[in-house]
Amino acid sequence: MGGWELQTQKLRTQNWLSYGFAGRSNHPTWLEIAVQCTFGGTMQVIEGHLDAQGLQFALVVSRFNEALTSRLESGAVDCLIRHGAEDGKITIVRVPGAWEIPMVAARLAGDGGFDAVICVGALVRGGTAHFDLLAAEVAKEYSSTLLLFLGLSRIS
């Protein structure tokens, strides 16, 4: 047996997730890679390249809680430039608050003029349920936007 089959066989004999491996092709899933690494198999590392050269970025930043978001904005721009992005290829769009970020991000992503849309906002927990409600709805809209542009339907 090759290295991969040996690892999946080891899982079967220990009765670990054996149903997940039946009838699989030779291409492991994320779960299988993680489990394989646990048993000392040859580790496979999948990661992106941190190279922003030639890419067009949109940065959507909330103006509310500006003491925090202005620093986050500066950090995001600095990170992009350190990884090769050009000043002229970074567009910053400021919106009133976190509530507006997903709507503007969806519009920018839908226009197709950007390789990535980065969203920056800050919610500060207070003594009311406002934080919880806002955080939940904004997160839901981010997820919906992502699923839309990945071509997946939203599960409700």
What is the distance between the alpha carbons of residues 120 and 13, in angstroms, rounded to a whole number? 48
| Catalytic status, residue 83 | no
Of the candidates 93, 94, 97, 105, the residue with the CA atom closest to the CA atom of residue 65 = 97
CB 147 within 8 A of CB 108: no
Cα–Cα separations (whole angstroms), residue 37 to 20, 33, 34, 40, 127: 16, 6, 5, 5, 45
27, 49, 83, 130: which one is catalytic?
130
113-142 burial by CB neighbour count: b if 16+ within 10 A, else e?
ebeebbbbbbbeeeeeeeeeeeeeebeebe
What is the distance between the alpha carbons of residues 66 and 3, in angstroms, rounded to a whole number? 53
What residues act catalytically?
130
